[in-house]
Amino acid sequence: MDGDRSAQAEGSVVRGVNETSAQAEGSVVRGVNETSAQAGGSVVRGVNETSAQAEGSVVHAGKERGKLKIFLGYAAGVGKTYQMLTEAQELKLQGVDVVIGYFEPHGRAETIAQTVGLEFVQRRVFEHRGAKFEDMDTDAVIARHPQVAAVDEFAHTNVPGAARPKRWQDVMFILDAGIDVLTSLNIQHIESLNDQVWHVTGVRVRETVPDWVVQEADEVVMVDVTPRALLHRLERGVVYAPEKAQKALENFFTESNLTALR
């Protein structure tokens, strides 16, 4: 969950799959099996779309099930959550009813700033072994029934006592209710890549999302920065607090690991 406005200055690029290119203000946003939609000097493209909508909206009229749009990156800090919230803001400006179903700030000031003016659905408090934890209130999101819900950390494991063990399962329920969802995901959380990530980095990722869930997404947007730019963000304290950032730099966030993941 990541992001900062220095993405463009540091060579940030947002890319998709089977690409044709579109460039605006130094960034590139690309999609999958695309038809284009242009507004505000930028181009965002979708997946098998029969109609193009301004700035990559995932809102489609007359559909029973919601549409899923995943902002995919190779590591924390590349800008997935920032891009997700930027899209939520753009949708709001277009008059779309959009809410934040769940957002994990990680103390990232520039990402937090992207939530200003957006409606938050109140989290649910769970009790587990004498402690209280907050997590997404899926029932409240469905009851509010916006056109679009932004739900951070797609691979997250829910608090014990939640109706479902994984957040991606909650997102399926939200989609089934006819609500479009914007979400964020790192590639190391895709189930079929788990062993590869382990062999490359030496780190076994415990939270995974089944491949079929990702394949059912209506749009996948790759959010990318160079490994050197990402390491620079870590060093500046943009991604994590200094102590956590230093540990990350000494372990998972090595340039060789990031280059392999990318």
Give domain limits for the chain. 5-261
Tens-place pLDDT, residues 124-136: 888 777 788 889 9
Give the residue among 31, 57, 54, 59 at the shortest CA–CA distance from 180. Answer: 59
Distances (CA, A) of 94 to 24, 35, 87, 103, 141: 19, 20, 11, 22, 21
Rounded to whole angstroms, how far apart are CA atoms 261 and 223? 13
Tens-place pLDDT, residues 119-172: 999 998 887 777 888 899 999 999 999 999 999 999 999 988 889 999 999 999
Domain range 5-261, its CATH number among 3.40.50.300, 3.30.420.140, 3.90.1280.10, 1.10.10.10: 3.40.50.300
Helix axes 242-250, 227-235, angle to 10 degrees: 140
Q: Region 212-216: what's the mean pLDDT?
A: 96
pLDDT of residue 205: 82
2-6, 30-34, 137-141: which range is least confident on average?
30-34
Rounded to whole angstroms, how far apart are CA atoms 213 and 148? 18
Q: Half-sphere exposure of residue 87, counting CA atoms within 13 Å on the CB side?
A: 31
